[in-house]
Amino acid sequence: RYLEAVRLLEKGEYAAALTAGRAGAAEAEALEDARARSAFLLVVGRAAWVLGDFAGATEILLQQLRMAEPLQDHDLLSAGHHALG
């Protein structure tokens, strides 16, 4: 599911990526998979930013970083900081 959300984002299908990312984040939350949820939130935040929801995207990306920090996942941390600029 994650790769599909990323593919949609990369193809410029931002609304679909946002929907797929939200669904994936909800599924990961239900499974208590913090790493997957953080990855999906990154997709959601990036898509929201491109769609013009700057405040919402910023909050989502900050949430993503807060989730990635205790995981010490350098890829997720780097991607989150990059997305915030």
| Contact in structure between 43 and 6 (CB atoms under 8 Å) | yes
- Give the model confidence (pLDDT) of 22-50 as tens digits: 999 999 999 999 999 999 999 999 999 99
| Contact in structure between 76 and 35 (CB atoms under 8 Å) | yes
Among candidate residues 24, 25, 30, the one with its CA nearest the CA of residue 64: 25
pLDDT at position 77: 97
Averaged pLDDT of the chain: 97
